[in-house]
Amino acid sequence: MTVLPIRIHGDPVLHEPAAPVTEFDDALRHLVADMFETMDAAPGVGLAAPQVGVGLRVFVYSYGNDASEKPWRGVVVNPTLYMTPPAAGVPDEHDEAEGCLSFPGERFPLRRSERVVVTGFDAHGQPLRIEAEGWRARILQHEYDHLDGTIYIDRLDSAFDRVLLRIVRKRGWGVAGNSWNPMDERLEG
């Protein structure tokens, strides 16, 4: 298994819809293993294939509330997302703050649906269905967005536009080729 560089906001693969997986083969399973290794090294709770430069509809996730709970971990290939509409109102700055490995080091409040159902396939092509609430639902929505070429900052209230632009300019993001490697925690570009 290999820890892969994670693409940063501005790289074209992050801003285009990913293609459906057509072959459930060893290459796909190797990609999934590398994605788990990369997500764990980052560390993160989810990672979509476009974030590691692969334009396929695949994401991995892992989340546990505390040490006594078995981690919730898996992969979804070619997902379909069903969700209840998000509650109206302004997102809470603490309870609804979200981050992204492709916009590293930053968190912003974003209202998401409280409940989702995701259908798709595992890495062997077997059908699966996941029902999730709360943070687990948030993770699934966040990773699904990546497969449609959307980063969570694209969904933020326009009040954050100036702050986001300042961050992008200051860090040299917003262009192709920028990535960071979780193994050495440095940004490449």
15 is in an annotated binding site: no
The answer to whether the beta carbons of residues 59 and 49 sit under 8 Å apart is: yes
Active site residue 143: yes
The CA distances from residue 143 to 14, 116, 151, 184, 186, in Å, are 11, 13, 9, 24, 23
Tell me the torsion sign for CA atoms 132, 30, 14, 65: positive
The answer to whether the beta carbons of residues 114 and 84 sit under 8 Å apart is: yes
The answer to whether the beta carbons of residues 182 and 41 sit under 8 Å apart is: yes
Tell me the torsion sign for CA atoms 102, 105, 111, 117: positive
Q: Tokens for 5?
A: 């560089």
Q: Select which of 23, 69, 143, 188 is catalytic.
A: 143
CA dist., res. 174 & res. 189, Å (int): 11
Pairing outcome for strands 72-83 and 115-121: antiparallel
9 is in an annotated binding site: no
Helices (H), 24-160: 26-41, 134-147
146 is in an annotated binding site: yes
Q: Which residues are annotated as a binding site?
A: 100, 142, 146
Q: Which sequence positions are flagged as catalytic?
A: 143
Q: Which residues are annotated as a binding site for Fe cation?
A: 100, 142, 146
